[in-house]
């Protein structure tokens, strides 16, 4: 059971990293010069936080890969799509159409079948 918990935590951390990166890049408007853009990225706390969280997620994912067959582990990473859609809806006021909800349902169903195979 701990192996599946690590998958959920790893994919959730990666989704939070995406949220942090999105907030960071949204604040970079108007950077016309590549040097200014690079400097802004290097000193942007949201982007740095996102990259840090990705590192943590990747370390956890290495644990997952050591415990699961790749053909079972990688499809379970699709939970990241579910988490990022929910985070986008709740924190970024992104739309959540019936098609996205159906897609989430299909992903969760697929994860269920793969995890029980």
pLDDT at residue number 55: 97
Domain ranges of the chain: 2-115
What global pTM score does this model have? 0.84
CA distance 13 to 32: 31
pLDDT tens string 60-93 = 999 999 998 898 888 889 999 999 999 999 999 9
How far are the Cα atoms of 40, 43, 46, 109 from residue 33, in angstroms, in the given order?
11, 16, 20, 46
User: Which comes out higher in pLDDT, residue 28 or 21?
Assistant: 21
Cα–Cα distance between 64 and 80 in angstroms, integer? 14
Provide the mean pLDDT of the chain.
91
């Amino acid at each position: 059971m701990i192996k599946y918990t690590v998958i959920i935590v790893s994919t959730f951390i990666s989704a939070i990293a995406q949220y942090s990166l999105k907030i960071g890049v949204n604040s970079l408007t108007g950077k016309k010069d590549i040097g200014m853009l690079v400097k802004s990225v290097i000193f942007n706390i949201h982007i740095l936080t996102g990259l840090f969280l990705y590192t943590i997620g990747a370390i956890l994912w290495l644990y997952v890969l050591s415990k699961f067959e790749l053909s079972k582990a990688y499809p379970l990473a699709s939970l990241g799509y579910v988490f990022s859609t929910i985070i986008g809806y709740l924190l970024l006021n992104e739309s959540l159409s019936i098609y996205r909800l159906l897609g989430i349902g299909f992903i969760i169903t697929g994860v269920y079948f793969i995890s029980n195979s």
